[in-house]
Amino acid sequence: MEASVVRFFENFDKDAYRIGSEDFIYSVKANPDVFIIDLRKAEDYEAEHISYARNIPWGMDLWAFIDRVPQSRPILVYSYNKEESFMATALLALAGYSVKGVDAGWEEIALLESAKPMMTKGRERFHQVPPPDISEEVRLAIKRFFEEMDLLKDSMMDRYTVYPEDALFMYENKEEDKIFLCIDSENADPPPYFEQSILIPFGPGMHLQFENLPPLFLLVYGSDPLEASFAVVWLRFFGYYGVLIQS
């Protein structure tokens, strides 16, 4: 598993895994072959979603329904926030999908004038697709990712994310089971906990520094939400306790 993750990040191009909100709507209109995943809760999805989007709520459902996602089609993912979209993108990319996460949360997407004609209600049906070519090793890693996420349910680290104000609270209270991890090579506007952070710049080879990380919750932050989201997935696949501070 570790070798697969290392190979993936050796050729990592962050711009290949994100799409702006306006470009997302344009792609949905222009390309009928695109497969859209809405990661929000079922009740929110049914109330309103982008036409043709299938609902796979963020969590164990993504592992359970991954065989319903066609590997032969381009995948676009959106959620309540861009961080969840990017973490799902990282998981699907590691599973061999051609996928991009929308660089915006649902509220921002829904406000777009171009999106309004694309809104619909109810549910979109899944169709039978050829079985995806996903190694058992990757399947188990994704399952473990969500099993460990469920252990944090209803905590300040629910869904592998921490609000900035909660991160500051943890810092000020000197919570001993947590430490901060900055993935920026430079930080123009450092948070209060920057001086107490471990610094591991994002990029190929960053995993070589993981072995020195303590067995604590690693509160990950950086100036690029996509890089921070992918870093959390990378850490989790290597067996570390990565959690993302929302931007």
pLDDT tens readout for residues 114-140: 999 999 999 999 999 999 999 999 999
Average pLDDT of the chain? Answer: 94
Q: What pLDDT score does 2 carry?
A: 73
Report the predicted TM-score, pTM, of the whole model to 2 decimal places: 0.95
Q: Which positions ≥6 away from 169 have C-beta within 8 Å?
A: 156
Torsion angle (degrees, nearest 10) of CA 78, 84, 88, 93: 90
Q: What pLDDT score does 6 carry?
A: 78
How far is CA 202 from each of CA 199, 228, 244, rounded to the nearest angstrom? 9, 8, 14
pLDDT in tens, 64-121: 999 999 999 999 999 999 999 999 999 999 999 999 999 999 999 999 999 999 999 9
Total residues found in the chain within this entry: 247
Structure tokens at 47: 């109330």
CATH superfamily of the 152-245 domain: Rhodanese-like domain (3.40.250.10)
**What CATH code is assigned to 2-138?**
3.40.250.10
Structure tokens at 179: 């430490």
pLDDT interval class at 41 (50, 70, 90): very high
pLDDT in tens, 1-26: 677 787 887 778 888 999 999 999 99
pLDDT interval class at 203 (50, 70, 90): confident
Residue span(s) of the chain under CATH 3.40.250.10 come to 2-138, 152-245
Evaluated on CA atoms 81, 157, 145, 237, the torsion sign reads: positive
pLDDT in tens, 104-117: 999 999 999 999 99
How far is CA 68 from each of CA 26, 39, 48, 64, 179, rounded to the nearest angstrom? 24, 14, 22, 9, 38
**Long-range Cβ contact pairs of 5-14 (< 8 A, separation 24 or more):** 5/94, 5/207, 5/234, 5/237, 5/238, 6/207, 8/93, 8/94, 9/203, 9/204, 9/206, 9/207, 9/230, 9/234, 10/204, 12/203, 12/204, 12/230, 14/224, 14/226, 14/227, 14/230
Q: What pLDDT score does 14 carry?
A: 82
Structure tokens at 239: 């067996």
